[in-house]
A and B are shown apart, each in its own frame.
Chain A
Amino acid sequence: MTSFSPLSTSSINGERLRYPVVLYLVASVFVVLLLRLWYLQIIRGDSYRNLSENNRIRLEDIVPTRGIIYDRHGRILVDNRPAFNLAIVPEDVSDIHLTLGQLSGLLGVEQAQFMEKFQSAPKGAPFRPVLLKRDMTRDEVAAVESHRFDLSGVMVQIEPKRSYERPSFAAHLIGYLGEIEEAQLKGKRSQGYKLGDYLGKYGVELEWEEALKGERGGRQVEADAAGRQLRILREVPSQPGHNLVLTLDTGLQLRAERALEGKAGAIIALDPNTGDVLAMASSPAFDQNQFIRGLSATEWQSIVDNPLHPLENKSIQGQYPIGSTFKPVVLAAALEDGVVDPNTILSCYGEYRLGNHVYRCWKKGGHGELALHQALVQSCDIYFYQLGQKLGVDRMAAYGKGFRLGRKTLIRLNNEAAGLVPTAEWKLRRFGVPWQKGEDLVTAIGQGFLLATPIQMAVFYAAIANGGKFLRPRVVLRVEDPDGAVIKNVGPEIVGQLNLNPNTLSFLQGALEGVVQEPRGTGRVAQLRGKLHEIRVAGKTGTAQVIRAPEDEEEQDESEIPYKFRDHAWFVAYAPAEAPEIVVAVLVEHGGHGGSAAAPLAREVMEEYFSSRLVEERVARSQ
């Protein structure tokens, strides 16, 4: 053979010796494979043929139970209940039209509707049950079960269903679940989601999905030729999700929701020392259980068409002009920059003229002569126009940003809005029009372009109350495993510091207390009553114009103005003034004056808080 070239080296000769070994190894591997094939196909062939003909071994899912949600005192807010679903295994049905016809007769659902569900089911693995109807009533389950033997391939599956214990309670904060959408599924398949799964779509249910969802299990089931389960071969149990303990106080939340009944607006109660959201109400609300049952087209339409936007969480998503609740920012700016000192006296005659324009005070006759403290207590617009004129928009904006307006509070809920703090440069960029002198005045009383959300106002006043700390509002206190062991504590988180001279801050605190506690304060209505009257409240009213008031017309009576043109009413307060435990921000859309429309609601919430505190203390003392 020519291949034995004289050039061949001894090394190659050495390798040539290995060829028989290699051949032997390769051949023996193939013999092993053939023996295995012989074993599977010839020796065990009959039994495998039998298994394959009946397609006996199937895989079934075990749906995990979702974590339970508690309030801060351990009351159950969201739980799970068993739901009975009607499903059908296509391969096990002999005559689909007959079977669906029977079901339609039993349940009073049109056959076409079942047929549509049946046909639109994705073609996945074989012997996967196709869902026909979710969440049947007891009677429907009984009807199907009693005809079980006429209905081959039909099965009733039990599945845990989300149950919101009090309809519409804290709906925006807790949120709701919905069926996974196909577009969403694409990115989530690797996380174990499947078509037909429910997942958080809003609120805590959305933001804490990872903790709540649990892990799917499954079982290998051997079924008979008619699809009935014979035995379970292997099973992997599902892992229940983790439970959440919210910062919410059920009593306070109920009180806040009751206060907003029949109105559109938001109430937030925060603990200024921890950032705990004790209550967060947005009105109108919605019933989360509707989303679990599945909304009909008309129900959905009525929610979407509602002009008061029930799905919007007004406490974090609603951006409003903030009116006089902005004045503390202007006051702090003026003191810090030495524009005024606490003794500077300015006069108010009800009107202030700049160029051709006349700017009015909310009080027609004017306040006369007043110093800084009284200017805030009585919320004198003329005094603040002059501060605004001296400061200019950019300095006010800088201090506004110092109070963390115009940026998100980082509360862990979806759709938080950032609000807006205008500057001269911003206006030029946005509208191509330079800033006008008069707009300084308007900005100083919280009108114009300025926008904020109720949660921003609550965090802003909490920082005044607690001596300058900006806390990230906290919704979840801790995560627990199903046995109650703590998985994670969500600690308070300081996200910023208020950089004010201590004298400025204490002056501001004193003035805010005056707003409520002094006889001429605009927020007198918020004084606590009865046994609680000794607890001193500090706060600020705000009446935010929705449209610019016609300048030379006589002021109209509130009730004569069409609803959508009425002013937004604000009140933000904290108490006790000397050692604050609670901050309450109230916004009533088109409610009118802050002092009369918003302050009473804040008082109700604070009274609820302090009276339940009194009860707790009394109980503690008697034990």
Chain B
Amino acid sequence: MIDRRLIQNFDWVLLLLTAAIIAVGLVTLYSALSYGGKVHAGILTRQLYWYGLGVLVMILAFSLDYQWLERFAYPAYVFGIVLLVAVLLQGKTVSGSKRWLDLGLVVAQPSELMKPLLVIGLARFFARQEKRGGYRLRELGLPAIMVIVPVVLVAMEPDLGTSALLLAISVSMILFVGVNLNSLLLLAGISLSSLPLFWFLMKGYQRQRVLTLLDPGRDPLGAGYHIIQSKIAVGSGQFWGKGFLKGTQSQLRFIPEHHTDFIFTVLAEEWGFVGSLLLLALFLCLLLRGLNVARRSRDQFGVLLGFGITAIIFWHVAVNIAMVLGMLPVVGIPLPLVSYGGSSAVVTMASVGILLNVAMRKFVFQK
């Protein structure tokens, strides 16, 4: 299955970039888990295990020809939806929302898995329905349903952040394949005008939730406080940072979730502008590399798959860091390959595996 040509075409740069980000992530996680000279080794070990599993999944993801993904795109998509329904029916409730599914051995977040499955499904659809001059509205009916179902299911958990992210990834892909200009304007018009309707349908506490999401200052004891402390942590890093394990803000636990969603504060505080710049540069290179894979792919499915996977990583990085820097609402979006979290780590590594897969097989002729 893997012949010499495949090895020649293996995208080592992509792999190295991924490894570099994981390395930065682990150093930061180590620091985030240190408190008063002690390290919370349990969580660190668990994350290492997850990366171990991630490597296996990644190998699996690039070994099999991605044509298989195309063949099983829809069943995989349906499987993802089933998991999302299962999580609503019997998920574990953690701080008021059901996001976790107990699978016996591990507890996983199906919404993480849904991201690549949705991308694969959409890639499959658009690869078979080629179109000149952009899609018209009525031709987008099926993909619209494919997007809306998981977006709504995730929003019901409720996990509005991930729901919005799924939407952003899908819209990126649809815009990428091209939409007829008139249809695009109409769609934008419909979306904007339906917002007040949603607002009208929401219950009081739901509106409150959305308002807090948009303006953390409304919740000075929760999100508002997190943002203040987050900005203090990042800002106090200044140019060179305070040094490894010397970040007082995050280490003194001013930052809640500082080993998960807010882990960037730890890096920015301890390594300053220089460190932040390095991580951002690594991510930017990874994304450009991902786009390159898409660009060079020889078939429509590969192009869309590469683009979609890259879009997943892009939106995570952009939304997470913008949130930490106080530019976007506080939503539970992890920083890929840096934040602690098994589902995210394994799914991101599988996604990189898919990118490697697409990169590797660009020359191989198919039937």
Q: A interface vs B, CB < 8 Å?
A: 2-3, 5, 7-12, 14-16, 18-19, 22-23, 26-27, 29-30, 33-34, 36-38, 40-42, 44-49, 51-53, 55, 57, 59, 124-126, 189-190, 217-220, 233-236
Task: Identify whether the interface residues of A are mostly helix, strand, loop, or mixed.
Answer: helix
CB-CB < 8 A to A36: which residues of B? 322, 325, 327
- Minimum C-beta distance from B98 to chain A (A): 12
How far does the Cβ of B116 sit from chain A's closest Cβ, in whole Å?
A: 19
| Cβ-defined contact, B238 with A52, below 8 A | no
CB-based nearest B residue for A50: B236
Contacts of A51 in B (CB 8 A): 232, 236
Q: Which B residues lie within 8 Å of A189 (CB)?
A: 95
Nearest neighbor of B274 in chain A, beta-carbon distance: A41
Q: Are B236 and A218 in contact (CB under 8 A)?
A: no
Q: Mark B289-314, 1 if CB is under 8 A from A, else 0.
A: 00100011111100100010000001
B132 to A11, Cβ gap below 8 A?
yes
User: Is there an interface contact between A18 and B300, defined as CB atoms closer than 8 Å?
Assistant: no
Shortest B30–chain A CB gap in Å is 19
CB-contact partner of B234 in A30, A40, A55, A234, under 8 A: A40
Assuming the contacts A22-B291, A26-B284, asked whether A234 and B303 have C-beta atoms less than 8 A apart, the reply is no
Contact B132 A10 (CB under 8 A): yes
CA–CA, A152 and B300, complex, Å? 70
Instruction: List residues of B whose CB falls within 8 A of some A CB.
Output: 93, 95-96, 130-132, 176-178, 217, 220-221, 224-225, 228-229, 231-239, 248-249, 252-254, 268-269, 272-273, 276-277, 280, 283-284, 287-288, 291, 295-300, 303, 307, 314, 318, 321-322, 325, 327, 362-363
6 closest Cβ pairs, A-B complex: A48-B235, A234-B220, A52-B236, A45-B238, A218-B221, A40-B235
Contact B300 A23 (CB under 8 A): no
Whether B318 contacts A14 by the Cβ 8 Å rule is: no
Whether A8 lies near B132 (C-beta < 8 A) is: no
Residues of B within 8 A of A41 (CB): 234-235, 237-239, 268, 272-273, 276
Known: A9-B300, A236-B221. 15 other contacts (CB 8 A): A3-B298, A5-B298, A8-B298, A15-B177, A26-B314, A30-B318, A33-B280, A37-B234, A40-B235, A42-B273, A48-B236, A51-B232, A59-B221, A189-B95, A190-B93
Specify which chain A residues have a CB less than 8 angstroms from the CB of B287 in the assembled complex: 26
Chain B nearest CB: distance from A96 CB in Å?
15
> Least Cβ distance of B9 to chain A in Å?
10
Nearest Cβ in chain B — how far from A473, in angstroms?
34
Min CB gap B58→A, angstroms: 23
**Interchain CA distance A2-B8 in the complex, whole Å:** 14
The complex places the Cα of A46 from the Cα of B236 at a distance, in Å, of 7
A395 to chain B, nearest CB (A): 48
Which of A45, A124, A220 has a CB less than 8 Å from the CB of B239?
A45
Bound-state CA distance A324–B303 (Å) is: 90
Minimal beta-carbon separation of A73 from chain B (angstroms) = 36
| A465 to B233 alpha-carbon distance, docked (Å) | 73
For A38, the chain B residues whose CB sits under 8 A away are 273
Known A22-B176, A23-B291: A29·B318 in contact at CB below 8 Å: yes
Cβ-neighbour of B253 out of A42, A57, A126 (below 8 A): A126
20 contacts between A and B (CB under 8 A): A3-B298, A7-B298, A12-B303, A15-B178, A16-B295, A18-B176, A18-B178, A29-B318, A30-B318, A34-B280, A41-B235, A52-B248, A55-B248, A55-B254, A126-B253, A190-B95, A217-B221, A220-B224, A220-B228, A233-B220
Complex Cα–Cα for A49 and B236 (A)? 4
Among A18, A37, A44, A51, max chain B CB count under 10 A is at: A37
CB <8 Å contact, B253 and A19:
no
- Cα distance A40–B238 in the bound complex, in angstroms: 8
Check A27 against B284 for contact (C-beta < 8 Å).
yes
Chain B residue nearest to A47 in the complex (CB): B235
Q: Check if B273 sits within 8 Å of A37, measured CB to CB.
A: yes
Chain A residues within 8 Å of B131, by CB = 11
Residues of B within 8 A of A18 (CB): 176, 178
User: In the complex, A33 Cα to B225 Cα: how many Å?
Assistant: 21
Selected contact of B178 from candidates A14, A47, A59, CB within 8 Å: A14
Q: List the A side residues contacting B268 at CB < 8 Å.
A: 37, 41
Q: Are A49 and B220 in contact (CB under 8 A)?
A: no
The answer to whether A234 and B284 touch across the interface, beta carbons within 8 angstroms, is no
- Quick check: A45 and B235 within 8 Å, CB to CB? yes
- How far in angstroms is the closest Cβ of chain B from A370? 66
A9–B248 Cα distance when bound, in Å, is 56
Contacts of B321 in A (CB 8 A): 33
Q: A22-B291, A220-B225 are in contact. Are A49 and B238 (CB under 8 A)?
A: yes
B130 and A9: CB pair below 8 A?
A: yes
Are the CB atoms of A33 and B295 closer together than 8 Å? no
**Judging by beta carbons under 8 Å apart, are B224 and A3 in contact?**
no
B232 touches A52 (CB 8 A): yes
In the complex, chain B residues whose CB is within 8 Å of the CB of A59: 221, 225
Q: Are A40 and B325 in contact (CB under 8 A)?
A: yes
Let me know if B280 and A53 touch, CB within 8 A.
no
Tell me the bound Cα distance from A291 to B316 in angstroms: 52
Pairwise interchain contact B235-A49, C-beta atoms closer than 8 A: yes
Q: Which residue of A lies closest to B248 (CB)?
A: A52
Residues of B within 8 A of A5 (CB): 298
Decide if B362 touches A125 in the complex (CB within 8 Å). no
The one of A14, A44, A52, A233 in contact with B132, judged by C-beta atoms closer than 8 angstroms, is A14
Known: A11-B300, A220-B228. A23 touches B252 (CB 8 A): no
Asked whether, in the complex, the Cβ of A48 is within 8 Å of the Cβ of B232, the reply is yes
How far does the Cβ of B135 sit from chain A's closest Cβ, in whole Å?
11
In the complex, A59→B221 CA distance in Å?
A: 7
Q: Which residues of B contact A7 (CB under 8 A)?
A: 298-299
Contacts of B280 in A (CB 8 A): 30, 33-34, 37
Interface pair B238/A42, CB less than 8 Å apart = yes
A36 to B322, CA, bound (A): 9
B249 touches A3 (CB 8 A): no
Residues of chain B within 8 A of A27, CB atoms compared: 284
Question: How many Å lie between the Cα of A15 and that of B296 in the bound state?
Answer: 11
What's the Cα separation between A22 and B178 when bound, in Å?
13
Bound Cα distance from A36 to B176, whole angstroms: 28
Complex CA–CA separation, A46 to B300 (angstroms): 51
Q: Give bound CA distance, A48 to B177, whole Å.
A: 45
Measured in the bound complex, the distance between the Cα atoms of B314 and A410 in whole Å is 59
From the candidates B221, B231, B318, name the one contacting A40 in the complex (CB within 8 A).
B231
Which of B96, B217, B231 contacts A48, CB < 8 Å? B231
> Given A29-B318, A40-B231, A55-B252, are A45 and B236 neighbors across the interface (CB < 8 Å)?
yes
Say whether, besides A9-B300, A40-B231, A19 and B236 are in contact (CB < 8 Å).
no
